[in-house]
Structure 1
């Protein structure tokens, strides 16, 4: 195994006081999460490799994007020493070439479940969630330039369409958002306001457009654009256990939604990434199996060309509330939660799919 190095951050994470939050009925958030054993006989190998853990510590309900071969981990929630979790503005950068971490300028506004996309060498954040006892949708939008390490404020998300945890995709200069949630009140019976809203933002003109809504409301979904089609995979509707196996496809030319082959395993809180014409989906929350801690280990790939699903080697460290991005044919999956609700960990894994024959 190759030697791993980590860039030590200049200072320890400072966790601001926050209202303790638990995002799954009956679940108490641990202040020091521990990793469960590798799930279902899974082990590193079979395409999986452990990487240097997140230098700043555990992170969950964040977003990731890649620019210039580097992976940016933005926002999310952190463990609060007083109990529960707190939303962060922290942005950390992983360099796959050196297996090392550094810091970038923080988000102008702390967010969890931020809607993030990379276009033209810049990172766009188009709203998200934040708050104390109840997380509410934010309209705040920003663009980050890695060359200057600076954030610039953009016009806000149009009123009434703000949400976090949307499926994201990019085509040309347009960023597409599908579904998401306007409110997430952690705790038993807390409101989870799932939406079917679909919209797009043009990074050149700065204009928003409204597209045909999803056939059904979804949040915590997988999202990707392959060719001229926007795919929305799995997710949930108003609660962690209300997981879905649906795959909806929006033809960006005709504006019509169709239904594709369902996921083998219904899951919400998943991470997704594209390599070629295939969409890979990882982990998730809402697993009813005994001993699963409510977490899925599944790694399943959707073949957009043939409308077929395939099961692959499961995650060695099952997680939900994480995010994934592909760089050079390798998929990187930093952070996430290892128990239902808020239980951030610092795990950072890579998965390299077997080349197609």
Structure 2
């Protein structure tokens, strides 16, 4: 049974007018930022897929298991207007281009911290619904064979947050940054953190790691080789976008800074394919007609420490999530205007394809 938490807000509930704050001057302004097209034009690696069967979704997370993409939690349009936080879990079969429902999350949540390890899906904290979204310590593991969620010990007190960068290495899940509070509306509190921690799925033990050089939320994350990358994001507000790339070396236990993103963006989706990390969309675009949303698709080559601009999104979005399945990156849902504008768009990007 779905148990949504209501939040009666307009589509621009999170947009705060101000100037973007960039970490590296000269980076961050797209050359031609398109608004969300009425009729999307696909190609150049982009392909439309079956829309989310349950309807529009935003501020969710995704995980991939056995050729299927799981869409967990987030916000969706409310029956009486505004948006609600949901416990819904929907599953996209990449082979059949079909949707189904899985057992719902034990509690409604948005901005959940999600990772797949050893054939299971872990949710380690999130933000709640309500008039002010607060960090939750709640943690769960999902077994797809039993279609069942099991409660885990909560996150250690003081480390709870949602919207963290996520990475997996061996039996450990890594979380970097995130936020403890997001109060929608102009001037609402956005409590960004620099906390970094790990969770071992075998022992159930949490560990605190060296903090990020600067606080980040709504950020991209991926582990490639022996390094955990944290890309872009924002710091205490949608327009405070960042272009930084931080890299944590598991051997030295230290953070260093790498080549910055061509476009500073927060609210991005990111996924790794091989030694490259692809970053999509985002929020905080100051360009006229952009609806505060970025269309950018930029890839970071971890081996060469360099960036490349690729074909932009057919439907620019923020507040979405990305995951790779067999070399194809799936990006379900997201918002097409600043704040909350959930859509049911489901598409995919295949690097190197026309």
SS of aligned partner of 1:36: coil
Which residue of 1 is the match for residue 257 of structure 2? 259
- Cα pair 1:142 1:151 within 8 Å, conserved: yes
Alignment partner, residue 312 of structure 1 = 310
For residue 36 of structure 1, report the CA deviation from its aligned partner: 3.3
Does the aligned pair in 2 maintain the 1:133–1:186 contact within 8 Å?
Answer: yes
Aligned pairs for 1:157-168 (under 5 A) are 157-168=155-166
Mapped partners of 1:15, 1:141: distance in 2: 18
Distance 1:14 1:55, change over 3 A: farther
Structure ranking higher on relative contact order (CA contacts 8 Å, 6+ apart):
2
Structure 2 stretches lacking a partner, 5+ long: 18-34
- The question of 1:181 aligning with 2:179 is answered yes
Contact 2:121 2:142 survives alignment (8 Å): yes
User: How far apart are residue 19 of structure 1 and its match?
Assistant: 3.8
User: Retained in 2: the 8 A contact 1:167–1:223?
Assistant: yes
For 1:24-76, what per-residue CA distance to the aligned partner results, in whole angstroms no more than 9, with x for missing partners?
Answer: 137xxxxxxxx93169xx72000000000000000000000001110000000
Paired residue secondary structure (1:183)? strand
Who is 1:146 aligned against? 144
For 2:173 and 2:4, the matched residues in 1 are separated by 32
Whole-Å separation in 2 of the counterparts to 1:184 and 1:209: 25
**4+ residue runs of structure 1 moved beyond 3 angstroms?**
13-19
1:18 Cα deviation (Å)?
A: 3.6
Question: What is the deviation of 1:17?
Answer: 4.3
Q: Is the 8 A contact 1:38 1:318 kept in 2?
A: no
SS in 1 for 2:101: strand
The structure 1 residue matched to 2:16, chosen from 22, 25, 32, is 25
Q: TM-score, normalised by structure 1?
A: 0.91
Partner of 2:278: 280
Q: Distance in 2 between matches of 1:38 and 1:302?
A: 30
Gaps of 5+ in 1: 1-10, 27-34
Deviation at 1:14, TM superposition (A): 8.3
2:52 to 51, 54, 74: 54
Partner of 1:337: 335
Structure 2 residue aligned with 1:32: none
Alpha-carbon distance, 1:15 to partner: 5.9
Counterpart contact for 2:16–2:238, Cα < 8 Å: no
Give the 3 Å change call, closer, same or farther, for CA 225–135 of structure 1 in structure 2: same
Normalising by structure 2, we get a TM-score of 0.92
Output the CA distance in 2 between the equivalents of 1:280 and 1:17: 33
The 3-state SS of whatever aligns with 1:136 is strand
Cα deviation, 1:282-327, whole Å, max 9, x if unaligned, reads 0000000000000000000000000000000000000000000000
Q: Could you report, residue by residue, the CA deviation over 1:58-105 in whole angstroms, capped at 9, with x for unpaired residues?
A: 000000000111000000001113221110000000001010000000
Residue equivalent to 1:30 = none
Q: Encode CA deviations 1:115-144: one digit per residue, 9 max, x unaligned.
A: 000000000000000131100000000000
User: Quick check: 2:125–2:139 contact (8 Å CA) kept in 1?
Assistant: yes
Structure 1 pair 57/107, CA: closer, same or farther in 2 (3 Å)? same
Alignment CA distance shift 1:66-1:82 (3 Å): same
- Match of residue 36 from structure 1: 36
What is the CA–CA distance in structure 1 between the aligned matches of 2:242 and 2:38, rounded to whole Å?
25
**1:218-229 to 2 correspondences below 5 Å:** 218-229=216-227
Q: Is the 8 A contact 2:141 2:151 kept in 1?
A: yes
- Counterpart secondary structure, 2:344: coil
Structure 2: how far apart are the matches of 1:350 and 1:296? Answer: 17
Q: Deviations over 1:313-346 (max 9, x none)?
A: 0000000000000000000000000000011000
Question: Size of the alignment, in residue pairs?
Answer: 334
Say if 2:187 is the partner of 1:196: no
CA distance in 1, matches of 2:212, 2:345: 33
RMSD of aligned Cα (Å): 1.6
Secondary structure of residue in 2 paired with 1:354 = coil
